[in-house]
Structure 1
Amino acid sequence: MAKRIIAKDGDESLRKRCKDVTVFDDKLWTMLDDMYETMQEANGVGLAAPQISVLRRVVVIDVGDEHGKIELINPVITSMKGKQHELEGCLSLPGMWGYVDRPAKVKVKAQDRYGKEFDIEGTELLAIALCHEIDHLSGILFTDKADELLTSEQLEERKK
């Protein structure tokens, strides 16, 4: 496994729509493993392929709950319920935070690393991570949806 470079704000790959994955092979599996390692080393809870400059519909998530490591290939949100308004950050936008409206519960249909379809449900942080990472696949950043943006310094001031 190898750590990948995380694209930062201004990188054009973050604003492009990703293509579906059609080949489920060693190359994909290596990318998934690399993405997970990169996310963990960066202390993130999710990473989408465009964040490593690969324009494919691939996401890894681990919010530290019972689901553990989640790999989503070609994910699609199939239902959303409720509402939550929480603070989000992004590995591609270090030092930037924002309050975003997201569903309280989401269902997602995706494929695993072998191409087998499955469904996953998420609430709370997992719902946020699913929506946030799937947005990346359409070139959407959390800053596009945030109703208030804060720098790390502004966030620290509010905590006092």
Structure 2
Amino acid sequence: MGALMNHTVLPPIAADRDLLAELKSVLAGAEEVSISTPDRSAPLPDSVRGLLVDAVTALDRGQAVTVEALRTVLTTQEAAELLGITRPTLVRLLEAGKIPYTSPGRHRRVELADVLEFQRRERERRGQVLEEMAREEAPDPGDAADGFVSTR
């Protein structure tokens, strides 16, 4: 799927949990963070810092973390795989204008940022729908005299 590398890190042993907590504290702090060696030092960009905070948080929770490099321009198949849908479904979304795309030749190309933005919007929309469904008034089973609720 366009991966240049794929590296999975398993959660550390219990003895290293204190190191994770310290690293998370440093990364999540307000001060600028830099990486240092005996010879030189470089500031840590905010995007990399955020990635490291997320990774360290997941490891601290006992989860494995995988880092995978993706190209910034995807084929329709790569975009579909990223979204967990079929390529024909993705093409329908593209043609409906839900995700922007370009056609430099015969094939469509999709920007990774646009796919991730669509994914974020869909998660948000689904969350709102679930909240609305949860707020809908449902019959109270205690109202039925015999303990059964009529469904028809």
More strand by share: 1
The higher relative CO (CA closer than 8 Å, separation ≥ 6) is in 1
TM-score scaled by structure 1? 0.24
| Larger gyration radius, structure 1 or structure 2 | 2
More helix by share: 2
TM-score scaled by structure 2? 0.25
